[in-house]
Structure 1
């Protein structure tokens, strides 16, 4: 090849590389020139729902919005506060405020729509970010009147709060409500209105009593709806349950409040949670059922884990580790 052919090519390449270097160095636009990259901040996230398949059935995870608890050293007890903070920092989580999600699965079995728990509803006891359920349902294209059944893990305010409006009107006019009788009796007991449980009892009564004629009680081990089995997990409340949800040979466990945090109450399942009615019983339920689910490799959905709360558990030492399932945004 002649030298005359090589030199122009080298000169062109040097010119191109020089221009690229200038751009990489952040060459500025002339004064007064328009920057087309400038755009206003949207201040919006995507709609707050996510779908995946369970065999032939479709699960839509709806959010009621984040629920901030505050200082984790106050809410998670039984170990030194410094240890709680260390666990959070090690997992790149803030140590000044624990923020829980509220993941509400709605399962479309083809012949019925079943929703698990209902969020905070009209209560703002944990701040303004909760109470989003109705908006999230609308974003997902699900009409409240189409919900056939509401399955309640327990009667705490952030799980039954969305059943009724503040004036006692049912938000889901065609739904039957399923809950354990022990939890219903405990949290609607009028005599507890003078106790420290007053706020929880008030909201349980406001949401459950107006629909009392639609409430059906289930028992431990009972398949009370096709594909839905109750499993007692007492301690967080007297009648707290988790549920095995099955369709077409596939299943997952809806954990309710078996564990509130994917790090603290999994790595140290005997740690206690301040909102448990019986913290030591809750810890024993947690150890027993997490062990069963991990051994069986049963997928889980947690009401309070990071959005959308679906994944798997593995035994690690004396505790467990949660592996979040990748979100599949291309399904369809």
Structure 2
């Protein structure tokens, strides 16, 4: 169907807007523009648990070329533009669920913290928690999917003070050992290793190492999904028969790495292993229709995945604004 809109009809429409709209299209509003946004948190129920998603802010990666590899650059750009996303700047979110199980308050991943390696928009997790009414001192457990800079960066502040003073911390030992290795500080991973040591060494005596398949906290089971890092894990979170999987960095992008899950991501320690983990875990989640939360999907990163041809499709869950 083609809709023809004439200049005369547009002028007639404009006449109905009232005297506050001028001929040049400008308007004299009764109030100035506010320039503020809604707080960066969202809350929902999971069985008997209450889940609050807090953001560490957007994380821009820049152009996809060299970051998403194994598929022709122009095809990657078209995948983005076909989904109304910028083909020149891939922007990830940073979504951390805080799960109140009734007896424990559990935070998954801590954002970039003080590091500005990916620009000034990251590092707002503590602010988001305050907006949500959650105190850092009330966190009982901090669970790390892996030890990359944008997941362990918010453990300490600029002065090295631990921000979650009453928490026990959980991580895979292989990831802790790899990213705190002093011998890597002189190599290409320097920034990541320095940041990991800054945040993880002060809590070394409070770290607990989980194993694949272990329910290391009530209702929280570790699931190994290596490749992005040597010890990368995702987690099944369950309360009163309801579950979701926190994916960590199983997949960074809801279009690129789902439609073409064998595409490689340059920040993966072992890109081919990461791709195999991605296909295996997404296939399981899709076939069982288990809800997912991805750390890097569009805010707040909660929904479902389904098989679609040789890949997958992500269906965001509508945000329910009543509890």
Pair 1:27–1:107, CA change in 2 (3 A): closer
1:212 pairs with one of 200, 204, 222: 204
Q: Secondary structure at the match of 2:284?
A: helix
CA drift at 1:168: 2.1
Which deviations, in whole Å up to 9, do the C-alpha atoms of 1:90-147 show, x marking residues without a partner?
Answer: 1111100000000000000111100000000010010000000110010000000000
Pair 1:28–1:124, CA change in 2 (3 A): same
The reply to whether residue 131 of structure 1 matches residue 123 of structure 2 is: yes
CA distance in 2 between partners of 1:87 and 1:102 (Å) = 22
Unaligned runs of 5+ in 2: 1-11
Aligned length: 308
Contact 1:179–1:216 under 8 Å retained in 2: yes
1:87 alignment counterpart: 79
2:218 pairs with one of 226, 234, 249: 226
TM superposition score normalised by structure 2: 0.93
2:56 pairs with one of 64, 67, 77: 64
Q: Which has the higher helix share?
A: 1
Q: Secondary structure at the match of 2:130?
A: helix
Pair 1:37–1:241, CA change in 2 (3 A): same
CA distance in 2 between partners of 1:55 and 1:26 (Å) = 48
1:1-332 matches, cutoff 5 A:
24-26=15-17, 28=19, 37-329=29-321, 331-332=322-323
CA distance in 2 between partners of 1:126 and 1:26 (Å) = 44
Contact 2:80–2:86 under 8 Å retained in 1: yes
CA distance in 1 between partners of 2:79 and 2:195 (Å) = 34
Contact 2:20–2:28 under 8 Å retained in 1: no
TM superposition score normalised by structure 1: 0.90
Contact 1:166–1:206 under 8 Å retained in 2: no
**Higher Cα Rg, which structure:** 1
